[in-house]
Amino acid sequence: MFVVIYDLREMPANQQTFLRQRTFSVPLKREINGNVYEENILQTEERTLRYLIHLRFQSSKSGKIYLHRDVRLLFSRKSMEVDSGAAYELKSYTETPTNPQFSLRC
């Protein structure tokens, strides 16, 4: 199940945009002898893309917003870390276009 949080209240009529959510598996912090050991994710890039969802939205002349065209999903084919016994958590990042945030409908 995908939970994608978005806010398109500022979207003008007759415009379109997209939203992309990437979900990564990231190693957890570990506690060894009472000391918290955090794997350095930024330097080692130990995160693995697990899922990606791409949604397109379009507004009508009256300003109603609709899911437009298709929903694209990507599921990683790499073996899950669960199989290896490694501790990890899923972290999701949602991105939208920034400049311009919306474009005219074609």
Tell me the C-alpha to C-alpha distance, in Å, between residue 41 and each of 10, 28, 105.
35, 10, 40
Strand partners, 85: none
Query: What is the mean pLDDT of the segment spanning 3-10?
Result: 92
In tens, the pLDDT along 13-65 reads 999 999 999 999 888 866 665 555 555 444 445 788 999 999 999 999 999 99
- Beta bridge partners, 55, equal 19, 71
State residue 42's pLDDT score: 45
- 78: number of Cβ within 10 Å: 9
The DSSP bridge partners found for residue 95 are 20
CA dihedral 7, 13, 17, 21 (to 10 degrees): 20
User: What is the band of 92 on the pLDDT scale with cuts at 50, 70, 90?
Assistant: very high
pLDDT at 41: 43
Does the structure show a pLDDT above 80 at 79?
no
